[in-house]
Homo-oligomer: A and B are copies of this chain.
Amino acid sequence: MSKEPPKKPTIADVAALAGVSRAVASRALSSEPRPVAEEKRNRVIKAAQQLGFKPNLLARSLTKKSVNLVAIIVNHIHDLSDLDLFDLLLNEIQQIGKQVILLRVGSVERVEAFLRNGIAYHVDAALVFSDFADAATVRHMFDTDRVLMLNGRHDALSPAVLADEASGIREAVRDAAAKGVRSAALVTGRASSLVEAARIACYREEFERHGIALLRMAQGDYSYQSGHAAAAGLTGRDCPDAIFCTSDAMAMGILDVCRADFPAGRPTRFRLYGFDDVSLTEFDAYPISSIGFDKTRYVSEILRLLSTLEAFVPGTPPVQVPARFVPRLSA
């Protein structure tokens, strides 16, 4: 039975203590400059401090538009494979005075009911990392146009920030070609994903351009385990000169199976290329050449949109952040 004696002070309490009307107190405490007599303003501020007054932003949001909340939507927390990126993003969002509500949505099925039961429904904007839904679905779910698609499933109405992966793939394949690679294998994720399909197409094109024969393909699910499982089938006899993976984790799995082929991290039998440039590749044990984009730039593009919510006009073209090849020992 927890009694609730320290009732949180409202602006009325502050006004009373300061001997002014609620309206004056409200104005004095407003972040925007409102006309208030200097003397009264000081009294109000002092009273607020004295009472430990904190405005109830839920109530405020009834009359104002914004709640200063943005939702980040992931499928599974591992979508945030790159914690550095996420940390940067979180920090920057907080810098502009907004807070983050983190939504983990497995399937699209019961999402709406779920949303409706939480504050998340009222966010200023939704950042969609999860690939569970397309732009239209998310707009409908949140009942807002303030949707920023980061999963590649945007449309003409919703803005997006994307890595221009093609540029990175081009550099990686060029690197391989320059090193004499003549044949390759490609390990991919689900081909049903649009971005994945685009990657595959891009690899094929670049292989062709450089006269590299695509000997084999394997399908995984981006995970370490799936790379592990695929390794044997790819590196038996007829081993390609290089193996390209569409995730670093799969490359790590392959590397662990074939570690003997990488004394001191250097390739002897085949070169290994990953994708995403996750921070794990900074560990000595996984010196995997990868493809990554400038996280700072990526985040700042997201924030540019977030800090000017009016910018969410239909037709805003997707922002591309170029990806680069990041050479390490494995290739």
The answer to whether A35 has its CB under 8 Å from any CB of chain B is: no
A203 to chain B, nearest CB (A): 26
The contact string, 1 if C-beta is below 8 Å from chain B, for chain A 283-296, is 11110000000000
Contact B100 A101 (CB under 8 A): yes
Q: Looking at A97, A117, A280, which has the most chain B CB atoms within 10 Å of its CB?
A: A117
Cβ of A269 within 8 Å of any chain B Cβ, yes or no, is no
Contact B102 A117 (CB under 8 A): no
A108 interfacial contact with B, CB 8 Å = no
| Pair A1/B286 contact, Cβ less than 8 Å | no
A304 on interface, CB distance cutoff 8 Å? no
A90 within 8 A of B: yes
Q: Knowing A67-B119, A83-B77 touch, does A285 contact B256 (C-beta < 8 A)?
A: yes
Which residues of B lie under 8 Å from residue A77 when comparing CB positions? 83, 86-87, 90
Is the CB of A122 closer than 8 A to any CB of chain B?
Answer: yes
Q: Mark A272-290, 1 if CB is under 8 A from B, else 0.
A: 0000000010111110000
Q: What sequence of 0s and 1s flags, for each residue 61-83 of chain A, a beta carbon within 8 Å of any chain B beta carbon?
A: 11000011100000011101001
Cβ < 8 Å to B, chain A residues 1-41: 1-2, 6, 8, 31
Whether a CB of chain B sits under 8 angstroms from the CB of A326 is no
Interface flag for A313 (CB, 8 Å)? yes
Interface centre among A62, A91, A101, A313 (most CB of B within 10 A): A101
Q: Tell me whether B104 and A119 are in contact (CB under 8 A).
A: no
Contact in complex: B114, A103 (CB < 8 Å):
no
Contact stretch, chosen from A48-56, A162-170, A176-184: A48-56
Distance to closest chain B CB from A274 (angstroms) = 14
A310 B69 Cβ-Cβ under 8 A:
no
Distance in angstroms from A325 CB to nearest chain B CB is 23
Q: Check A252 for interface membership: any CB of B closer than 8 A.
A: yes
Minimal Cβ-Cβ distance residue in B for A77: B87
List residues of chain B with CB within 8 A of the CB of A298: none
Q: Is the CB of B118 within 8 A of A98?
A: yes
Q: Does residue A132 face the partner (Cβ distance < 8 Å to B)?
A: no
CA distance A94 to B104 in the complex (A): 8
New A-B contacts (4) at CB < 8 Å, excluding given A54-B143, A58-B58, A283-B285: A6-B143, A54-B121, A77-B90, A252-B285
5 of the cross-chain contacts (CB-CB < 8 Å) are: A2-B312, A2-B313, A68-B118, A101-B101, A259-B284
Question: Interface of A with B (CB < 8 Å)?
Answer: 1-2, 6, 8, 31, 52, 54-59, 61-62, 67-69, 76-78, 80, 83, 86-87, 90-91, 94, 97-104, 114-122, 143, 145, 224, 228, 252, 255-257, 259, 280, 282-286, 310, 312-314
Closest 6 A/B residue pairs (Cβ): A256-B284, A285-B285, A77-B87, A99-B118, A54-B116, A102-B102
